[in-house]
Amino acid sequence: MSEVTDVSEVIAGTVQLQARHLTRHFTTRIPGRGFNGKHVVRAVDDVSLDLVAGEVVAVVGESGSGKSVLARMLARIVRPTSGDLILRGSTIPRKAKRSLAYASQVQLVLQDPFASMNPVHKMRHNLVRPLVIHGAKREDVQALAEAALTRVSLEPPSRFLDRYPHELSGGQLQRVSIARALCIEPRVLLADEPISMLDVSVRLGVLNLLRGLCDNDDLAILYITHDIASARYIADEVIVMYAGQVVEHSRGTILVDEPTHPYTQLLIASVPNPDDPTSVGPPTAEQAQIVIAEKGCRFNPRCPFVMDRCRVEEPPEFIVGENHTSRCWLHADKPQFEVEVALPRRRGEGEITKT
């Protein structure tokens, strides 16, 4: 199996990890119907994205939108139903087990730092284990663990190595879990809601840390969140997911400033805005219930602009601006461009062109 093991220099702007048409369906039983009542939950449906060295891609969506399943598929903890992962140019065989080589390139940081650290071991153990597993020499591990802590601004590292998880604050612990993910020098960091459990005052510190890792060390970061304001703060590219689908996708944060999909508009309207509390109305009761349509656009039961067409046909991704796509029939009449994979192009790959 030819999984990537090269340790060449990472160049900013090169694609590290690509997802192509990733799909994950879960089959559940309908209660009371025995084995006949099967129900398929489309947790992630045909999602494609590129993680690029030196860039942060943010995935925004409410609970149940499939964003965490997406992260777990990218980390190869959850096996996709269909679709491919391409790590630095080589396609990962779908049926293959997650290899150490893959894990050394792609690391996942979870939401709750208290739950993701072994509570009976000191920070030293928590940091040294991945190093040993990934083949660091015994005599180097101390220095590497200290370097990892310094990298996430936990200084002096010696103060933290002999502490237990319960002795650190949430923000410090989340930094340790980022350090743990980074100590084996991965190319891609998947951060699944890394700040939602943290105190407001330390959230920005972690966000700035992620941004810094991206800018200085050319790490490719996937940042998953339900807080669209924090996505706007650090992301180079924003993806909004609803019911397993990408509903809006933009290069830069144009999507936040000029949302085109009704769901993105709803998300933005829901953020507390003390500057102008009257600027947006709260969503109505129907809007706030998560109802996923079986037919047509998945957002149609909650959409304030729903048309007949939305109830029948599922919308494709329409291009609504430069490097900006939206899965909504409202934009069907805009001039369209041909896109194979409806994704913004990378630097140097040329922008989307008219055909």
Partner 1 sequence: MSTESIEASGVVTSANVTSDVSVVTTTHTDQRTGGPAMGQRILDIRNFSVDYGWGEGAVRAVNNVDLHLNRSTVLGIAGESGSGKSTLVYGFTRLLRAPGVIAGGEALFNLQSEDGTDIIVDLVTASEKELRKVRWSNISVVLQSALSALNPVLRVGTQFEQVLKTHRRDMSKADRRARTVELLALVGLNEDRLRRYPHELSGGQRQRVMIALALALDPQLVIMDEPTTALDVVTQREIISKLFELRSRFGFAMIFITHDLSLLVELADEIVVMYAGEIVERASAQALYDTPRHPYTLGLLNSFPPMHGVRTELTGIPGSPPDLAQLPTGCNFNPRCPYAMERCLKESPSLADLGEDGRSVACWLHSGDAGVVVPVELRRTGKGKREPAPMPVKRDVS
- What residues line the site for partner 1 (CB under 8 A)? 62-63, 169-172, 199-205, 207-208, 226-230, 232-233, 253, 256-257, 266-275, 277, 282-283, 285, 287-288, 290
> Least separation, in Å, of the C-beta of 230 and partner 1?
6
- Cβ closest to partner 1, residue 270 vs residue 323: 270
201 versus 355: smaller Cβ distance to partner 1: 201
Total length of the chain: 355
Cβ-proximal residues to 214 (8 Å cutoff; 6+ apart), any chain: 54, 55, 56, 220, 221
Closer to partner 1 by Cβ: residue 168 or 297: 168
Q: How far is the CB of 209 from partner 1 (least distance, A)?
A: 11
* 222 touches 74 (CB < 8 A): yes
Nearest to 322 by CA among 353, 349, 293: 353
Closer to partner 1 at the Cβ: 291 or 332?
291
Burial state string for 133-168 with b = 16 or more CB within 10 A and e = fewer than 16: eeebeeeebbebbbebbebbebeebeebbeeebeeb
Q: Rg (Cα) of the chain, in Å, rounded? A: 21
Q: Is 42 helix (H, G, I), strand (E, B) or coil?
A: strand
Closest CA to 20 of 90, 111, 68, 77: 90
Question: Which C-beta is closer to partner 1: that of 88 or that of 203?
Answer: 203
Given the complex with partner 1, which of 205 and 301 has the nearer CB atom? 205
Closest approach of partner 1 to the CB of residue 21, in Å: 26
Q: Which is nearer to partner 1, 158 or 289 (CB)?
A: 289
**How many angstroms separate the CA atoms of 91 and 345, rounded?**
20
181: CB partners within 8 A, 6+ apart: 107, 108, 109, 130, 189
- Give the type of residue at 74: L
State the nearest-atom distance from the C-beta of 198 to partner 1, in Å: 9
Least distance from partner 1 to the Cβ atom of residue 11, Å = 25
Residues 169 and 201: beta-carbon distance below 8 Å: no
Token digits of residue 322: 């430069």
